[in-house]
């Protein structure tokens, strides 16, 4: 009777810990809340039925399969891959359960009665911890669920969990084979080593348990820090972009300019990546930061007087000289922001775009007169987006230009004003968009 009850507790522990590890360690999403609760209920009912009919081992296998199906059903994409997580799962579960349940009775040579009493105590402690988690952890679980869409494992963390899972599975199987019940006493399995294995099993068991717990905690804490970092970065980016929109609203000529140019930048980057151009620079992270930074390219206009910024006619040489200072003013403003907020890649890129988006490929631009690939790639991309939007937008001093004429100007100034590779990519992308009837953002 006691042995059967222990087997029931062991199976239940495997199922519960598996579902918890699925959600809180592997960060696999749940189904819709009501469906998830029904799935839990049906799973434990099915596991109970399998246990009654086929025994502990089959019920444990059924629990792992049900966890795998839960992963598949909770995902939006790559559902069948969820079943592959069944490979590291048994190892992680065993790495957590085998050392505290089997090793101490073996090391202290407890009799069968005391071994069962010890194991009942361990299961009781686990039950209390689970109850505390359910009762006291409600706020944490709500916070976790709300923010789970922002949380994900890095590839390195996934690989680490797979490695630890496979190693712990090998360890647990080896340890369980060495520890058997014989005549009510826990002893080393008959082998050439006999009880001499005790120190080895003790040390490796403690090491395995500590290693498993440590890796899980580090991954959970690292993911939590990553989430907060992304949240703070997004908040900072949003605040600065809002400031850019406020600056844009001062300029009666450029309504929607920053959103349109950001979209053009994204399209150019997509085409360049498709062509394999500037592959060493144009990484996924670079493109992501460039899109975030793009709205800040004209932020220096906050320092330009309204009478120049909104003048309904051609600027004089003196006025144009003042207007040109928006590049260096934007650079200085963003440098100051970076000093206050910290080093973020998108801010570094925003500085380059603000300062250099009026530089020319042939060196006849401003403010520094640099040329060719001396100009940062992000600024060369923004130069095409900025000019095209200026040409095709209505301003107080001009009407919007027909698209075909704007394309012709971009093509004509390729190699003089614009990086020819960037200009060609832009024209190719826009030509495709035009053919699809989406030529204006």
For the stretch 4-39, pLDDT in tens is 898 899 899 999 999 988 888 888 888 888 999 999
- Residues of the chain with pLDDT > 90: what percent? 35
For the stretch 84-102, pLDDT in tens is 877 888 888 887 887 788 7
> What CA–CA distance (Å, rounded) separates 357 from 292?
16
- Write down the pLDDT at residue 286: 93
Sign of CA dihedral 152, 154, 158, 161: negative
Q: H or E segment at 153?
A: none
Does residue 180 carry a pLDDT above 70?
no
- Write down the pLDDT at residue 158: 78
For residues 367 and 341, the answer to whether their CB atoms sit within 8 Å is: no
- Write down the pLDDT at residue 186: 44
* Mean of all residue pLDDT scores within the chain: 81
Instruction: State both tokens at 2.
Output: 């006691």
185, β-bridge pairs: 111, 182
Does residue 209 carry a pLDDT above 90?
no
Q: H or E segment at 179?
A: strand 179-182
CA nearest 326: which of 367, 363, 271, 294? 367
Within 8 A by CB and 6+ apart from 231, the residues are 150
Rounded to 5 degrees, φ, ψ at 188 are: -70, 140
Full set of structural domains in the chain with CATH = 1-84 (no CATH), 87-232 (no CATH), 251-435 (1.10.3210.10)
> What CA–CA distance (Å, rounded) separates 411 from 246?
33
For residues 250 and 306, the answer to whether their CB atoms sit within 8 Å is: yes
How many CB atoms neighbour CB 161 within 10 A?
A: 23
Q: How confident is the model at residue 149 (pLDDT cuts 50, 70, 90)?
A: low
For the stretch 246-303, pLDDT in tens is 666 665 555 578 888 989 999 999 999 999 999 999 998 899 899 989 988 998 988 8
Comparing 224-233, 271-280, 310-319, which segment has the lowest mean pLDDT?
A: 224-233
Instruction: State both tokens at 113.
Output: 């009665």
Does residue 235 carry a pLDDT above 60?
yes
What is the C-alpha end-to-end distance of the chain, expressed in Å?
73
For the stretch 327-375, pLDDT in tens is 999 999 899 988 887 777 888 999 999 999 999 999 999 999 999 999 9
Residues listed for the chain = 441
- Write down the pLDDT at residue 249: 65
């Amino acid at each position: 009777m006691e042995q059967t009850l222990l087997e029931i507790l062991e199976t239940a522990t495997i199922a519960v810990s598996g579902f918890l590890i699925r959600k809180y360690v592997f960060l696999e999403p749940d189904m819709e809340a009501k469906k998830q609760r029904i799935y839990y209920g049906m799973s434990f009912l099915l596991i109970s039925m399998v246990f009654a009919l086929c025994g502990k081992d089959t019920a444990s296998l059924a629990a792992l399969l049900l966890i795998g199906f839960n992963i598949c059903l909770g995902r939006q994409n790559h559902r069948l891959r969820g079943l592959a997580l069944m490979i590291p799962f048994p190892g992680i579960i065993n790495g957590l359960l085998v050392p505290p349940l089997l090793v101490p009775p073996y090391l202290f040579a407890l009799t069968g009665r005391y071994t069962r009493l010890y194991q009942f105590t361990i299961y009781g402690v686990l039950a209390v911890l689970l109850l505390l988690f359910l009762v006291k952890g409600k706020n944490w679980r709500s916070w976790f669920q709300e923010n789970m869409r922002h949380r994900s494992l890095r590839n390195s963390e996934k690989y680490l969990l797979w490695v630890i899972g496979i190693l712990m599975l090998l360890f647990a199987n080896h340890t369980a084979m060495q520890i058997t019940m014989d005549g009510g006493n826990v002893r080393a399995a008959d082998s050439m080593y006999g009880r001499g294995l005790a120190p080895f099993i003790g040390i490796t068991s403690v090491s395995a348990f500590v290693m498993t717990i440590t890796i899980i905690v580090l991954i959970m804490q690292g993911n939590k820090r990553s989430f907060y970092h992304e949240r703070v970065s997004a908040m900072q980016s949003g605040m600065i972009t809002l400031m850019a929109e406020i600056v844009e609203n001062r300029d009666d000529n450029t309504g929607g300019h920053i959103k349109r140019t950001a979209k053009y930048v994204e399209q150019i980057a997509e085409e360049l990546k498709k062509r394999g151009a500037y592959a060493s620079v144009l990484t996924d992270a670079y493109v992501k930061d460039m899109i975030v930074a793009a709205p800040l390219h004209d932020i220096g206009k906050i320092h330009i007087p309204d009478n120049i910024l909104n003048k309904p006619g051609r600027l004089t040489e003196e006025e144009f000289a003042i207007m040109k200072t928006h590049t260096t003013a934007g650079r200085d403003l963003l440098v100051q922001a970076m000093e206050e907020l910290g080093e973020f890649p998108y801010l570094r890129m925003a500085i380059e775009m603000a300062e250099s988006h009026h530089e020319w490929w042939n060196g006849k631009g401003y403010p520094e007169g640099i040329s060719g690939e001396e100009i940062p790639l992000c600024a060369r991309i923004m130069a095409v987006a900025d000019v095209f939007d200026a040409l095709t937008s209505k301003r107080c001093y001009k009407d919007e230009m027909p698209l075909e004429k704007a394309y012709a100007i971009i093509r004509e100034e390729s190699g003089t004003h614009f990086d020819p590779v960037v200009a060609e990519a832009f024209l190719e992308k826009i030509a495709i968009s035009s053919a699809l009837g989406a030529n204006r953002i």
